[in-house]
Structure 1
């Protein structure tokens, strides 16, 4: 139903009239998406934070960066849900022109800034977390290149959104004198770089993960984590298709709904996936059977090798046995059993054995037989 006293933001297509009372509306699905994916991301972050503070007791930069990403995601949700009050989810010809400028357009710019910053924090957090897991120099070089790319294009995206128009407020006052960049084209290019970093973040650790020896349940868990990373990349591709629609359609308030919806899904899935990679110690302590472990804590010799996967290393002794001897003898070797329930440096090189002030470390003794060529043993 049209009103002669209200000016629509855009003239309706031929055969249609403006309806300010009960127009077509697709904003409900946007609310549902935020109500589902944001709490999942928040819960994942809470588990990660608990793990780092109370299980591992080692809070690092990547944890702080992920918290920043979550705060920005919450702020973006608040801004975009508020956009529903100013026409998001409705056709341009069904909302008053005063809703679009400045209210809708200003919130749209703020949401874009928050999204670019949040995705940058998320990806850099995940990559820095990788640095603590794999000590390989070549791996670190590859990761730092990705950090530079992800952080660089995120900062550039934030600045591009802020300075997209000259003067700046022309972005939400389109009738003001000045000029603006083609925002949908910028979003399209930004999404392309985002897809590249999404898949690169998943692919980079694969060669190093293949070297790990772990129980089948842990391999399944790692595969699920990588699969979630791939799914985030697929969601980015879907978002790219919605940006193409936005690029071609003048119906901004209607077309922006799907684009923002997929931004919300992508961002919160990225945060969730990044947090899942860091909560393995939480699962190991409270739900050990999920990882195929027989004990959730302690240093029980019967399950330690399965739980921590540390290779035994002998303590050098002057009377070390000579295994080339043809005689059968029984020897013992001792190995350090140190672990802070952290997933860090699971591929690290052997370290010197830690000792107490008395010079004695936490050790485990394993007896084994050496058999000679005649099959005799003791």
Structure 2
């Protein structure tokens, strides 16, 4: 089962990376070449994509090292544990910038002051707590040079308590889920009240609803969150948590970028029809 899950992680990471880079590239083509309306949401999405790529690089490295089928030296084991913590750091940064990008995108659609204020509050909470969680993870053992100590029994007593790390992770996950649904439901309500024709409303609404896809992965990551502590040894729970942690920002980046591509499809349809 460990081998099969390892193969699954590798496949998921490669697939999400490919789709993320493809959809973001198309997004930038739309914003720069078709609508000519680039914004800060595009810039933060590019940052999120780069951070996600770094995260995936660590996950792939860990996966490939674990399949070496040989006994690790103490130094190699320590290095792998550092990679695990660094992947978590980049996960936090990726999801934080992704939420900021989503919020900035949907701010373009809001029409009422209370909606704008609500989104600003959500953005502020996501950003501030994301930074807090980032520092908690980076300094979990007091110094970034001791990142792996939380996994080593004798040294873990000098690190932040497990309950604190878990609680912080759960709160961060809850904030992500709530933000995803608020970022999706309010714009859809606005869309339903717009003057667009019914067909356009349905198509845009479906695309917008994709923004909530990441919340499913976020919920599943919370289910397996304790596995990311790697207590005693790597378990199937640890691997499943990693899979969902990878899927969350990956699907979010893909879905958020796909939401921008309607002008591209419309242009393709028009060009084909006019030929």
TM-score, structure 2 as length reference: 0.86
* Residue pair 1:185, 1:247 contacting (<8 A) in 2 also: no
Q: Shift of the alpha carbon at 1:271?
A: 0.6
What is the aligned partner in structure 1 of residue 142 from structure 2? 166
- For these two proteins, the number of residue pairs brought into alignment is 268
**Is the partner of 2:200 in helix, strand or coil?**
helix
Q: CA deviation at 1:289?
A: 9.9
Q: Identify the match of residue 250 of structure 1 among 232, 236, 246.
A: 232
Give secondary structure in 2 for the equivalent of 1:179.
Answer: coil
Does the CA-based 8 Å contact 1:122-1:270 persist in structure 2? yes
The match for 2:50 among 58, 71, 93 is 71
Mapped pair 1:287 → 2:269: yes
Would the aligned equivalents of 2:35 and 2:263 in 1 still touch at CA under 8 Å? yes
Picking from 95, 114, 121, the partner of 1:145 is 121
Which of the residues 210, 215, 235 maps onto 1:228? 210
Q: Structure 1 residues 60, 217: closer, same or farther in 2, change over 3 A?
A: same
Does 1:208 pair with 2:187? no
- Are residue 123 (structure 1) and residue 105 (structure 2) matched? no
Report the equivalent of 1:328.
none
Does the 8 Å CA contact 2:17/2:53 hold for their aligned counterparts? yes
Task: Provide the rounded CA distance (Å) in 1 between the counterparts of 2:146 and 2:34.
Answer: 50
Query: 1:63 Cα deviation (Å)?
Result: 0.6
Any idea what SS the aligned residue of 1:166 has? Answer: coil
Quote the offset at 1:50 in angstroms.
Answer: 0.3
Structure 2 CA distance for aligned equivalents of residues 68 and 273 of structure 1: 16
Q: In angstroms, what is the RMSD of aligned CA positions?
A: 2.9
Q: Deviations over 1:99-147 (max 9, x none)?
A: 6642111111111111111111111111111222334322211111111
Distance 1:144 1:289 in 2: 39
Name stretches of at least 5 consecutive residues in structure 2 with no aligned partner: none
* 8 Å Cα contact 1:143/1:204 also seen in 2: no
Find 2:62's aligned residue among 54, 77, 83: 83
Name the larger-Rg structure.
Answer: 1
The farther-off stretch of 147-156 and 167-176 is 167-176
- C-alpha distance in structure 2 between counterparts of 1:225 and 1:95, whole Å: 48
Structure having the higher helix fraction is: 2
Number of the residue aligned with 1:18: none
- Relative to its length, the structure with more strand (as a share) is 1
